[in-house]
Amino acid sequence: MSSDKVLLDYGSGGRASQRLISELFVKYFANPELERLNDAAALKLNGTISMSTDSFTVDPIFFPGGDIGSLAVHGTVNDVAMLGAIPRYLTCAYIIEEGLPMDDLERIVKSMGEACKEAGVNIVTGDTKVVPKGMVDKIFINTTGVGEIIADPAPSGDRAAVGDAVLVSGTIGDHGLTILGTREGLSLESNVQSDSAALNHLLVKLVQEIPDVHVLRDPTRGGLATTLNEITVSSNVCCELEESNIPIKAEVAGGCSFLGLDPLYLANEGKFLCILPQEYAEQALEIMRADELGRDACQVGTITDANPGKVILVTPLGGRRLLNMLEGEQLPRIC
Amino acid sequence: MSSDKVLLDYGSGGRASQRLISELFVKYFANPELERLNDAAALKLNGTISMSTDSFTVDPIFFPGGDIGSLAVHGTVNDVAMLGAIPRYLTCAYIIEEGLPMDDLERIVKSMGEACKEAGVNIVTGDTKVVPKGMVDKIFINTTGVGEIIADPAPSGDRAAVGDAVLVSGTIGDHGLTILGTREGLSLESNVQSDSAALNHLLVKLVQEIPDVHVLRDPTRGGLATTLNEITVSSNVCCELEESNIPIKAEVAGGCSFLGLDPLYLANEGKFLCILPQEYAEQALEIMRADELGRDACQVGTITDANPGKVILVTPLGGRRLLNMLEGEQLPRIC
């Protein structure tokens, strides 16, 4: 592009918008449907469709382990996949602040293109708005995804059943602590970074090999505790969590204790909860552990009928503590 | 909700977010899939799917003839329909500035619910982010839509052919002038208001009754002139427009002349271009004029091979003027 900053007319719908599309988006997102440049994409999809949307406003836009672009792909790909679906297509809508360095935009677009390749999805249509300086902070991105549901019955938040095992695919709190740490200018231990990742390939393996996965859910905003509360309410069951089984990196635990944060409420962007009949738990853990993204998977609890709609944390000494849904905003702009 | 302003924790993913969803979104968008409250929606759709996305940043958020909510529904419904499709489902993602009056949010959500009902679509999943004061201007909304393509072959921007008629469904420039006028605090003539409307029912009638519609496109950002330029480039044909046939309300022409704007470059949100074989032009115009939203439809030009990739305006005196794509940003935040 002729300017090293994003100018207002890049979002005009006119000639400058066309250049931005052809020189940047088509370059990194190359696929035949996008290149038709219609206002809508024509897509072939089979069976029941999983559809999900998320707007990403994360601050900072670049952080250890990712950026707003890769996060925007991972977040939506994961949500689509949580219904037991193969994600296929994404839309991408940018809202950009006038004056954003073109280098930053290109870095983000490139990162999205790479994340799409890894996840096996195509960005097929999009939208770009540029708003005057001060009307938005740098860049916000919406992605919306569609995929084909292959699990039957499909996992759903209201299907957790008494006796089910509660598995988590890995360590908790990495993304949330990384974002807050970066924002506060803390120099975190070198191995604390966002876990942002596309989980779809692992999830597809799970629903293909396990006869009936009851719930799949990624504990993003509000963290493990809030997500489990949503599920126990939807399913009208109780979740009893063994505190000592919850995987947390020592550095994350240390950082949380320093900053006064509870890792159980911190966002994750590359982890999922899997709730399924106890008889399939071992098989599911094997599948998860065979994948780099599920290496630290373990069973953290069970579904019971003790207190329907509640999550109970069982401490190492046998104490029982009610784990509420997040109250108040622990971390704005975490994703 | 307990507060009369949107608070940061309404976007936390925690308890306050849940309340916002159940008390506001589920109230106005009521449908079974949304009420499952999974992170993704499971949808039944037949055949080839049309998918489109748009983020809306219009300023002001309330304007004569609509608001950011109705506009967000109309804009995406129309884009989905332009492929000859019946729009079925929308996603809706809000980015809200901390402190937005709850009354404004409710008014917008209510307006979206009404617009969906009229268009016959359901909002099936969504996302809400609240960002700290000053990080976004009031509220931005993304909607992404999917629908079922019923036209075969489907209309597409690259299918305009020499000899085709170029029809427009009504008067040009109403939305753009209304937004700019409102923003500038001008008191416009009482009958100048945004044309924002869902065109899908009319478009479906057209593609069902006309054997082959080559192109459908709504002239939003960049206006009639820019949209026609996109089409002539994609199809490698020339469009010759009869200036005297282009329908423009006298008040809009007057307002444009007062503000130094060219109505051919102003955004429309309830109009479409229809390019099809000349033999079907009369039938198409009859269908359009029988619908309130196509009352002022007329033929404005023809597709020729005179200057491939160009739009030529033929003036009442027979002069021929090249009509370029929009250069620069005439109006930021028009939609």
Subunit contact B39:A45, Cβ cutoff 8 A? no
Same domain, A27 and A86: yes
B200-222 confidence digits (pLDDT tens): 999 999 999 999 999 999 999 99
Q: For B37, which of A57, A154, A157 is closest by C-beta distance?
A: A157
B216 shares a domain with B104? no
Cα angle for residues A112, A116, A118 (degrees, 5° grid)? 120
- Nearest of A203, A181, A334 to residue A269 by alpha carbon: A334
Tell me the two tokens of residue A324: 């509420």
Q: Rounded distance, CA B187 to CA B56, Å?
A: 24
Q: For residues B109 and B332, what is the distance between their CA atoms, to the nearest angstrom?
A: 24
Residue A123 and residue A29 in one domain: yes
Q: For residue B217, is it within any domain?
A: yes
Query: In sequence order, what are the residues at sequence separation of 6 or more whose Cβ sits closer than 8 angstroms to the Cβ of residue B266?
Result: B172, B173, B175, B176, B177, B223, B256, B330, B331
Clarify whether residues A252 and A190 are in a common domain: yes
- In this complex, do A52 and B80 lie within 8 Å of one another by their Cβ atoms? no
Query: Which chain B residues are within 8 Å of A127, Cβ to Cβ?
Result: 53-55
Mark the ranges of chain A whose per-residue pLDDT is less than 50. none
Instruction: Report CB contact under 8 Å: B330, A83.
Output: no
Other beta carbons within 10 angstroms of residue A187's beta carbon come to 7
Alpha helices for A197-280 (secondary structure H): 200-209, 223-235, 250-259
Burial class (CB within 10 angstroms; exposed 0-12, middle 13-18, buried 19+) of B132: middle
Are A180 and A131 members of one domain? no
Nearest to A93 among B12, B55, B234 (CB): B55
Stretches in chain B below the pLDDT threshold 50: none
Which DSSP string corresponds to A12-29?
Answer: SSSHHHHHHIIIIIHHHH
Across the interface, whether the CB atoms of B83 and A40 are under 8 A apart is answered yes
| Pairwise CB contact (< 8 Å): B51 & A44 | no
Show the tokens assigned to A33. 């449907």
Judgement on whether residues A94 and A193 belong to the same structural domain of the protein:
no
Give the whole-angstrom CA distance, residue B192 versus residue A273: 54
Measure CA A236 to chain center: 25
Residue of B nearest to A148 (CA): B42
Q: Are residues A312 and A190 in the same domain?
A: yes
Q: Note whether B85 and B150 are within 8 A (CB).
A: yes
pLDDT score, position B139? 98
Which of A149, A174, A203 finishes a domain? A149
Please report the sign of the dihedral spanned by the C-alpha atoms of residue A5, residue A8, residue A12, residue A14: negative
Instruction: Give me the interface pTM, i.e. the ipTM.
Output: 0.96
- Closest by Cβ to B51, choosing from A93, A132, A146: A146
- Identify the CATH number of the domain in which residue A242 sits: 3.90.650.10
Q: Do B142 and A43 touch (CB under 8 A)?
A: no
- B31: domain CATH number is 3.30.1330.10
Instruction: Answer yes or no: is B81 within a domain.
Output: yes
Do the bridges between strand A122-131 and strand A66-67 make them parallel or antiparallel, or are there none, so unpaired? unpaired
For residue A130, the SS3 value is strand
Distance (Å) from the alpha carbon of A11 to chain B's nearest alpha carbon: 8
Residue A303 inside a domain? The answer is yes
Q: Are residues A308 and A177 in the same domain?
A: yes
pLDDT of residue A286: 98
pLDDT for the residue numbered A36: 83
Q: How far is it, in rounded angstroms, from Cα A208 to Cα B182?
A: 56
Is residue B333 assigned to a domain? no
Instruction: Determine the structural domain holding residue A253 and report its residue range.
Output: 164-322
Task: Look at residue A39 and tell me if it is in a domain.
Answer: yes
The verdict on A118 and A209 lying in the same domain is no
User: Number of CB pairs < 8 Å for A and B?
Assistant: 265
Residue in B274, B264, B259 with CA at minimum distance from that of residue B313: B264
State how far residue A323 is from chain B, nearest Cα, in angstroms. 12
Indicate whether B155 belongs to any domain: no
CA distance B293 to chain A (A): 21
Across the interface, whether the CB atoms of B42 and A124 are under 8 A apart is answered no
Count up the domains in chain A and report the number: 2
A interface mutation test: which of B12, B71, B97 has the most A CBs within 10 A?
B12
**d(C-alpha A275, C-alpha A164), whole Å:** 6
Of B17, B43, B158, the CB nearest to A48: B43
Helices (H) and strands (E) in chain B, counts: 10, 14
Measured in angstroms, the CA of B233 and the nearest CA of chain A are apart by: 11
Distance from A14 to chain B by nearest Cα, in Å? 5
Q: Which residues of A touch B131 (CB under 8 A)?
A: 57, 137, 332-333
Identify the closest residue of chain A to B91 by CA–CA distance.
A53
* Chosen domain end from A88, A123, A149: A149
pLDDT on residue B2: 77
Residue B34 has which token pair?
């949304």
How many Å apart are CA A9 and CA A17, to the nearest integer? 7
Q: Does residue B132 lie within any of the structural domains?
A: yes
CA separation for the pair B39, B27 (Å, rounded): 18
Which amino acid is present at A159? R
Contact residues, chain A, for B137 at CB < 8 Å = 131, 134-136
Which residues are B322's β-sheet partners? B312
* Residue B188: per-residue pLDDT: 61
- How many CB atoms within 10 Å of residue A118? 15
Q: Model confidence over A153-175: pLDDT tens digits?
A: 999 999 999 999 999 999 999 99
* Residue A91, H or E segment: strand A85-97
What pLDDT shows up at residue A189? 59
DSSP letter for A124, please: E
In a domain, A159, yes or no: no
> Are residue B186 and residue B254 in the same domain, yes or no?
yes
Among the candidates A116, A149, A182, a domain finishes at A149
Q: Specify whether B77 is located in the same domain as B192.
A: no
Let me know whether A140 and A229 are in one domain: no
Q: Do B222 and A8 touch (CB under 8 A)?
A: no
C-alpha span between A125 and A40 (Å, rounded)? 6
